[in-house]
Amino acid sequence: MRPLFHLLATLWLCSVSQAYAQDAPTQLYIHHRMVHPNLPVTYWSNFGSISIPHPSSISPPGTPVTFTPSETLLDDLSKFAESVDPALEESLYQVAVGRPELSEGIWPMSVMKGCLMSTSTSSSITIHLSPSGEVLGLDYFLSSIPPNGSCPPSSDTANSYPVHNTTVFVKIPSSPPSPRLRAPPPLTPEGVPVSPVPEKTFLQKYWVYIVIALAALLISGPPEEPAASGNGPKAAN
């Protein structure tokens, strides 16, 4: 009896731990760097971390999550400014979600012009997840960007990359409504579509009523003539 009790208790603990592991949040790490086509490639630095809730609690429009910046964020931004001048028009700021199972070259990533970084004080990151919680893509936005997306004049560009007030959202794709399919046409035993029955004409539909109306008119006969009145002029004797 006791071994059976221990077996049931073990199975219950396994099921509870598995359910807890499924509902437990997932930790994701966001990385960033500055690159320029004419300069050596810089290494990724830790931008911060977020805690992703279970996909069942994420709404399609987007759920905000807590973002914890990296402790070395200020030092990394200073190194970026030393390696890539913010005034360079071809500089690019890259933000990516690190996935250990993938190589860095194919991380989900978003790119922004580096010259626009100094003109904004806040940013937002939207991480797109699959229904199972897998990272599909990443969008990075700045609070203020010129309508034409051009870089500001070099004189208006700061010599450093500021720390932005970053807000992070996670989204899952919403399923479109299922199409309403029409029923397939009936087939004959030979597999040929059954031809629809031709629609009847007006006479074919209502000939019985027309015949009844005509018969009623014939039976009733012509209308009676009015009787002659006796008040007319009398003939002379």
What are 158-199's pLDDT values in tens digits?
A: 778 888 899 999 988 777 777 888 888 788 888 788 877 788
User: What pLDDT sits at residue 207?
Assistant: 82
User: What pLDDT sits at residue 185?
Assistant: 79
Q: What is the CA radius of gyration of the chain?
A: 41
Domain ranges for the chain: 23-171
User: What pLDDT sits at residue 124?
Assistant: 93
How far is 50 from 46, CA to CA, in rounded Å?
12
How far is 56 from 170, CA to CA, in rounded Å?
12
Question: Quick one: which of 45, 34, 151, 152 has its CA closest to 98?
Answer: 45
Q: Higher pLDDT residue, 185 or 116?
A: 116
Query: Residue 76 in 3-state DSSP?
Result: helix
What one-character DSSP code corresponds to residue 46? E
User: What pLDDT sits at residue 30?
Assistant: 94
